[in-house]
Amino acid sequence: MPWPERAVTTGWHEQLGEQIALHGLDINPPRAARAYALESVAQYDAMVACWDGKYTYWAIRPFQLDPEVKTLFPTPNHPSYPAAHACQSGANGVILGYLFPSEASRFAAQAEQAGESRIWAGIHYRSDVVAGFELARKVAGAVIERARVDGSR
C-alpha cells in the first residue's frame, strides 16, 4: 500500500527492508541486521524521549483550547507536546537517510509529511511538531554518532 496509508512504524520498517533489498544488503545478514538495529534503536529512543516530554509538559491539544476545532479523527488521550508522529517519523527519516544517502531527501520529505499530517488533522499545534522533529534529530544524531565510532563499518 502507498506510504501515506501505512502505519508509521510499519511503513518505515517496510521501507528499510525495501532499501536493504535494493542495495544488496540482504546478502549480507550482519549489515542488514545492523541497519534494522540502528533504525529500531533510534525509533525506540525517540519515543521514550517523546513520552518523557509529553508527561513533563502536559500540553493541551487544540480542541481543548478552542472547542470549535474539529479534528479529522478522534484525538489521542495523551498530552500534545511534543508530537509523537514527528518524533518517530523524524528519527526514522534521519536514520534511513544516513543509511541510504541517495534517498535521504525522500525520507526527510516523508517524515515531514507525517508530522504535518497531525497539524492538518487538528490534533497538534505547529510547536508540537517542530519540537518533535528537533527531538528526533537529536536522538537520531546520537545513534548515528555512536554507530560511527563503535568499530563497525
What is the rounded distance in angstroms from the CA atom of residue 90 to the CA atom of residue 106?
Answer: 12
User: What mean pLDDT comes out for the span 129-137?
Assistant: 98
**What per-residue confidence (pLDDT) applies to 3?**
39
Q: Specify the number of domains making up the chain.
A: 1
> Under a CB-based contact definition with an 8 Å cutoff, are residues 107 and 97 in contact?
yes
> Under a CB-based contact definition with an 8 Å cutoff, are residues 97 and 51 in contact?
no
Grid coordinates standing for 132?
Answer: 518533535
Residues of the domain holding 27: 3-149
pLDDT at 6 over 60: no
- pLDDT one-digit tens code per residue, 44-92: 999 999 999 999 999 999 999 999 999 999 999 999 999 999 999 999 9
